[in-house]
Chains A and B, each alone.
Chain A
């Protein structure tokens, strides 16, 4: 079924992920012009505004995981992502977080290359203050599952089988790799699977990110303005992972 984008979106009591997904979809349509499938649950599905022709896959998601966000622990429904290989109807899938916003067609270029799985192993902190990637958080070469490209190949199937295995025995692998965080993170599950299998390739350029303490203050469809402390800056035409979860609420 060609190339498409797969998004996972589950609202939590604290975060309206559907608002982020609505904006994310608008960007994908504008810049990538690809088919989109959103995996969601019934509660979140009911909150979506009409977004034109996109596919939905309704699932009953697991709950119980949490994440730190601006000084509190909040719910995080991120377990289903391990099933992306089964959920995706596409031959080539761009699996993307709904808080990743494309402002260019750069990802299309990656789709035209040969790979089983392609993922970021480096990030660029747009605040230039290295507030995101902490040191000594594990003994593992970390990857970022925010944007993952994969094909329906046997090797990709094997990677996802390994991710599911890691998820099931996450406590064991967390100890093995000395992972500092107690919650389940897909970044680590993907990293462990790739490390165990010696598979996957990496996107040569880092993923641009705005950290959790950076507020998005303005947006015009081709770029965003953000504030970090007293400093205001902007990016334009650059794909970005935004960790501020409230900027689409207004």
Chain B
């Protein structure tokens, strides 16, 4: 492989890395979710926290993305909404990730 090919390869990988970074930012924006007038990230941390607390109580408090307390009285509904939003954003990201992998393989 000559330097021209290496450069082409490097440029492509740089482009792919940028697209991935931008898509991840888009995913994080999409994961922001309002619940009970508070703002949450529908990410793995929040899902795990709510899932764990739900096993102990049906009524608890959690901190939102701006460190404000939120009273959760229906953890089942909250968890479902978190998972739905999480999977919606990840599904979109997965599509893009596949496209990028194809681009790389070409």
Contact = CB atoms under 8 A, between A and B. Distances in A.
The answer to whether A and B assemble together is yes
A213 to B, nearest CB: 16
B25 A205 contact: yes
B19 interface: yes
A141 interface: no
B32 interface: yes
A197 interface: no
Interface residues of B, number: 24
Contacts of A32: none
B92 A109 contact: no
A11 interface: no
A221 interface: no
Contact of A233 (B15, B32, B64, B66): B15
A208 B23 CA distance: 11
A35 interface: no
B101 to A, nearest CB: 17
B37 A204 contact: no
B62 interface: no
A204 B25 contact: no
Given A104-B30, A112-B37, A204 B18 contact: no
B38 interface: yes
A128 B10 CA distance: 16
A208 B26 CA distance: 8
Nearest to B18: A128
Contacts of A206: 25
Contacts of A126: 22
B33 interface: yes
Interface residues of A, number: 25
A246 B64 CA distance: 40
B66 A110 contact: no
A231 B11 CA distance: 9
A109 B25 contact: no
B105 to A, nearest CB: 19
Interface stretch (A77-85, A162-170, A234-242): A234-242
A113 B29 contact: no
Nearest to A128: B18
Contacts of B41: 204
B21 interface: yes
Nearest to A235: B22
Nearest to B21: A128
23 contacts: A106-B32, A109-B39, A111-B34, A112-B34, A112-B37, A113-B64, A114-B37, A124-B22, A126-B22, A128-B18, A128-B22, A203-B32, A204-B39, A204-B65, A205-B25, A205-B32, A208-B25, A208-B26, A231-B15, A233-B15, A235-B26, A238-B22, A238-B25
Closest 10 CB pairs of A and B: A112-B34, A204-B65, A114-B37, A238-B26, A128-B18, A205-B29, A124-B25, A113-B39, A113-B34, A201-B66
Interface of A: 104, 106, 109-114, 124, 126-128, 201-206, 208, 231, 233, 235, 237-239
Interface of B: 11, 15, 17-19, 21-22, 25-26, 28-30, 32-34, 37-39, 41, 64-66, 68, 92
